[in-house]
Structure 1
């Protein structure tokens, strides 16, 4: 089966507002997840954010700085590693997709207000489609929901 690749075009909310909800949906489905960030600094910022994004909940996760990465339901990284055997890989903060082999789903979130990020997403679309991935494009609605555009 081909890997499903979802492109999420952020227009009305930042990544920090959107990512926790998407990760929680993955955990509700008992999926293990890797979130690949564009930099080590972004990993550290998201690590702190996922512990404190809500007053009444948190997202269990870890990074290379934590013990037992193989047991983390969500693993944050700035590289291609997948120590928890994740079947879902998120690419954020302009992280570059590597191999899609072994993943059920790749989720690429990009800032629609950043022309360079938009151009890179278009390039990734073409490349991943050429690799045989099933690609879909979702644009954020003003209320924060998603609308499938392609």
Structure 2
């Protein structure tokens, strides 16, 4: 029996920044008992996110680390610019147009994109087609009028 294909969820950011949205989604991921891998293309951006995840709320932080630090494989949330899944993340978060790579072993791939950026929109549309053709269940989530997310497709 083969494993179920990885679900791919597209999150269309319209009113909030990645820095506002990502911590909440990571908290939900950890709440499921899952590990998360955040893959981005720019190491400087990942370093900035690393700092942000320690300080985004006064009353808590997200346990996490960068892939180039010791014991990266033990991190519940790992930030990486490289291919692979060193912390055996159940959820792969793609930011800033990062390539998905091999999705085997990943339960859910979450592609976050800025709806105000035409290039990001175009890339997301192309990836939707590729994932759908490859047989991945795909979902599209858009920020609601008030707060939260609404499933659109």
CA RMSD, Structure 1 to Structure 2 (Å) = 1.0
Scaled by the length of structure 1, what TM-score is found?
A: 0.96
Matches of 2:87 and 2:68, distance apart in 1: 14
Residues 10-52 of structure 1 show CA distances to partners (whole Å, capped at 9, x for unaligned) of: 0010000000000001111110110001211111110010001
Tell me whether 111-120 or 60-69 shows the greater mean CA deviation. Answer: 60-69
Q: Which runs of 5+ in 1 are unaligned?
A: none
How many residues end up aligned between the 2 structures?
A: 150
- Report runs of 4+ in structure 1 exceeding 2 Å deviation: none
Relative contact order: is structure 1 or structure 2 higher (C-alpha 8 Å, sep ≥ 6)?
A: 1
Preserved contact between residue 12 and residue 144 of structure 1 (Cα < 8 Å): no
Preserved contact between residue 84 and residue 102 of structure 2 (Cα < 8 Å): no
Residue 133 of structure 2 is matched in structure 1 by 130
Q: What SS is found at the alignment partner of 2:65? A: coil
Residue 66 of structure 1: how far off its partner (Å): 2.1
Q: What SS is found at the alignment partner of 1:128? A: helix
Matching residue within 116, 119, 143 for 1:140 = 143
Q: Does residue 1:105 correspond to 2:77, yes or no?
A: no
Q: Does residue 1:6 correspond to 2:16, yes or no?
A: no
Q: Does residue 1:69 correspond to 2:63, yes or no?
A: no
Preserved contact between residue 11 and residue 141 of structure 1 (Cα < 8 Å): no
Matches within 5 A, 1:52-91: 52-91=55-94
Matches of 2:21 and 2:53, distance apart in 1: 11
Scaled by the length of structure 2, what TM-score is found?
A: 0.94
Matches of 2:66 and 2:105, distance apart in 1: 21
Matches of 2:142 and 2:13, distance apart in 1: 7
Residue 23 of structure 1 is matched in structure 2 by 26
Residue 119 of structure 1 is matched in structure 2 by 122
